[in-house]
Amino acid sequence: MSEIHVPESLRGVCISIGNFDGVHRGHASMLQQLKELAAELSVPAAVVTFDPHPIAILRPEFTPPLLTTREERRRLLLESGLAAVFVLPVSTSLLQLTPEQFFEQVVLGKFHARGMVEGPNFHFGRDRAGSVDTLQTLCHNAGIACRIVAPADDGAEMISSSRIRGLLCRRAVADAVRLLGRPYRISGFVHRGAQRGRTIGFPTANLTGIETLLPAHGVYAGTADVNGQHWPAAVSIGPNPTFGEQREKIEVHLAGFTGDLYGLRLNVDLLSEIRPLQSFNSASQLIAQITADVALVKDLVASANH
C-alpha cells in the first residue's frame, strides 16, 4: 500500500471509493452528497479511484472499455469541486485483502477517513465480499459517518457506466450524452491518411491512439477543439465503403477550419448521431451527402450553444 501517498493536510477527509468511469450524472449526484457530508463534518471531500479497473487484473477478458481516460476522469472529478482525487494502484495483493483488511489498511490506515459516501451497489474486499451493510458496520464501529445514497435515474432506469456503453454501441450518442450530462469525448492524434477528403472539398483529420470506447460505426455531430477554439465537426467512424476501404477509420471534418493539424492531439466532443455509414454509387452522391451532413452538424452545434 506504499504506492499511494496521502498528504497530512488531507488525512481525515470524507471519501467515496469507486471507478467513476465516465463521471456521469449518476456520479454527479453522489459527489454532491459527498460534498454535503464533508461540509457537515468540516473536512475536505475526496474521491479514491482505481487504476487499472479491478476486472483487468481478475478477468482481463471482461475488462469494460473506458468512457474516460485516467487524465480526463481526474479533470472532471476535480472540476466537480473535490479537494483531491486519489488513484489506488490495483494489484493482486490489494484484491486479496478481506473487506475488513481493506477498510483497516486503506480507509483508516491511509486516509484516516471521517466520512464515507457510497452507492447501494458498492462492494469491496476479496471476491467483492464486502457490501454496504458491511461498510456501515465497519464505519459505525470506527466512529465514521457513513451515507449510502440512492442511485440516480432518468425516470426510466439507473444511470450507469455500463448503460452508457450500451448506448454508444447502439449509435445512440445523443442518449449517452444526456446521461453523461456533457458531450462524449474522443481524443486522438492526427495522422496522415489517404487525403481523399481533401480532393472532394472536405479535408479530414484522421485520428489514431484513441483510448476510450468508440461509438458504433456511423456519422456523428460534434465539436473539435483547436488551440481553445471550437469548430463544428462532422465525424465518421468506420470503414469507407464507397471507396472499398474496409479498415476502420476515425475521420473528423472541421467545418470552416484551414490549417495543419498533423501530429496534434485533437479532442472531439460528440453531441449526436447523424446517420449510419452507407455506400454511394458515385463521388458526387457522396459529396452531396457530406454537404448535407455538415449543414446539419452546424445547426446541431448552434442549437447546443444556445
Is 134 in the same domain as 30? yes
Is 193 in the same domain as 259? yes
pLDDT tens digits for 110-140? 999 999 999 999 999 999 999 999 999 999 9
| Domains of the chain: total | 2
- Domain membership of residue 188 (yes or no) is yes
- Domain membership of residue 274 (yes or no) is yes
pLDDT tens digits for 49-108? 998 888 888 888 888 999 999 999 999 999 999 999 999 999 999 999 999 999 999 999
- At 45 the pLDDT is 98
- Domain membership of residue 186 (yes or no) is yes
Is 96 in the same domain as 204? no
Is 124 in the same domain as 224? no
- Domain membership of residue 78 (yes or no) is yes
Is 193 in the same domain as 110? no
Is 238 in the same domain as 116? no
- Domain membership of residue 43 (yes or no) is yes
Q: Which pTM value belongs to this model?
A: 0.92
Grid coordinates representing 264?
A: 496534434
Q: Are strands 45-51 and 14-17 parallel, antiparallel or unpaired?
A: parallel
- Domain membership of residue 161 (yes or no) is no
pLDDT tens digits for 255-271? 999 988 999 999 999 99
Is 23 in the same domain as 144? yes
In sequence order, which residues have a C-beta less than 8 Å from that of residue 144 and are 6 or more positions away? 107, 113, 114, 115, 116, 138
What's the CATH number where 14 sits? 3.40.50.620
Is 142 in the same domain as 13? yes
Look up the domain containing 295 and give its range.
175-304
Q: How far apart are CA 55 and CA 246, in angstroms?
A: 32
Is 111 in the same domain as 184? no
Q: What pLDDT band is residue 244 in, cutting at 50, 70 and 90?
A: low
- Domain membership of residue 98 (yes or no) is yes
For residue 10, pLDDT beyond 60: yes
